[in-house]
Amino acid sequence: MDTFPTTILLATDASPDARLATRAAIDLARRAHAALHVVHAWDNFTASGALVPVAYPVLLGDGARELLEEEVAAIRAEGVEVAGALLAQGPPAEVIIDAAAQVKAGLILLGSRGLGSVRRVVMGSVSEGVTHHAPVPVLVMRGDAAVWPPRHIVVGDDGSEDALHALQLAAGIAGMFGARITLVRALAHLERALEQGAGSLDKLLVDDVLEFAQAGLDEHVHGLSFDVAARTIARVSVEDPAHALLHTAAQDDGQAMLAVGCRGLGALQRIRFGSVSTKVLRGAHGPVLIIPHATAEQPATTTPQLHVVAR
């Protein structure tokens, strides 16, 4: 896997989704021959929306260290070496992003906390905080054991470089596990034209746009390896992009993995207007792979001290 990241960072808190992320990290590290690092962040304050470890009742450094050491031991028991284990007290999203920079990770894995939509808006979630600010791809794991390894990956394609990167990374994962891919391009602006009953000339223009979009998707599919391309379907939709992706994934009992690029909305814009990647992350029932915009912003952090716990 020449194009797959050579260094993976797993963020863990011992929650069920984090356990699923560990399983995915083990599989990906093993198949891609990637170095695997593990980070755990602990914080005394739950009101800030921090990633609160659920495996111990008292939030103390010793308990956090024990949790991380147990996670490292469990990974090594699966025959996968842990290149490094990092521990820090502080806002988890910031700790995870700082750790990714320290180990030069090309992919971050973490579990979704599963907060309701209202609580996410009020205080955010760790998974959203990481995906909004991380300069590298983030795979957020959620769902039951059936979602991993993936059998179906739904990839959003809006013609951007971020979307193409999402397809390439998704294709790498599909190649590892024999998954099929559905590549979707949503042209929501055409929906209004069709609903308004366009004239014959306008209808021809709409058909030309759809045909051009389909040709672009087919070109992207042809750029994949032969075996992955043979398992890839490309289709154009006139729905809202997030709805089109979530609807496609839902047809597979909600177990499909989703992969989307981030078009570079700032954090405030995401809160006010939302974005396709944020809507997909909030609405998906299975894993979501988010590819950052090339100019992804970095959060103002307190630079938590990262301690090496185990090697």
- Both tokens of residue 93? 């999203």
Domain 1-135+296-311 = CATH 1.10.3080.10: no
Residue 175 to residues 32, 33, 40, Cα–Cα distance (Å): 11, 14, 30
Query: pTM of the prediction?
Result: 0.84
Within 10 angstroms of residue 280's Cβ, the number of other Cβ atoms is 23
pLDDT of residue 253: 75
Mean pLDDT comparison of 36-45, 79-88, 187-196, 302-311, highest-scoring range = 79-88
**What does the alpha-carbon distance between residue 156 and residue 262 come to, in Å, rounded to a whole number?**
10
Judge whether residue 56 has pLDDT over 50. Answer: no
Judge whether residue 217 has pLDDT over 70. Answer: yes
Third-level CATH fold of 145-293: Rossmann fold (3.40.50)
What is the mean predicted confidence (pLDDT) over 253-266?
A: 76
Same topology, domains 1-135+296-311 and 145-293? Answer is: yes
Strand order in 138-141's β-sheet?
232-237, 180-186, 152-156, 257-261, 288-291, 138-141, 107-111, 7-11, 35-42, 84-89, 307-310
- Please give the DSSP secondary-structure letter assigned to residue 292: P
Judge whether residue 309 has pLDDT over 70. Answer: no
Say how far residue 192 (Cα) sits from the centre of its chain. 31
Residues 6+ apart with CB under 8 A from 73: none
Domain ranges of the chain: 1-135+296-311, 145-293
What is the mean predicted confidence (pLDDT) over 85-96?
A: 90
What is the mean predicted confidence (pLDDT) over 194-222?
A: 77
Exposed (0-12), middle (13-18) or buried (19+): which is 231, by Cβ within 10 Å? middle
Using one digit for the tens of pLDDT, what is the confidence trace for 106-151? 999 999 863 344 433 333 488 888 998 899 999 999 989 999 999 9
Using one digit for the tens of pLDDT, what is the confidence trace for 99-113? 999 999 999 999 986
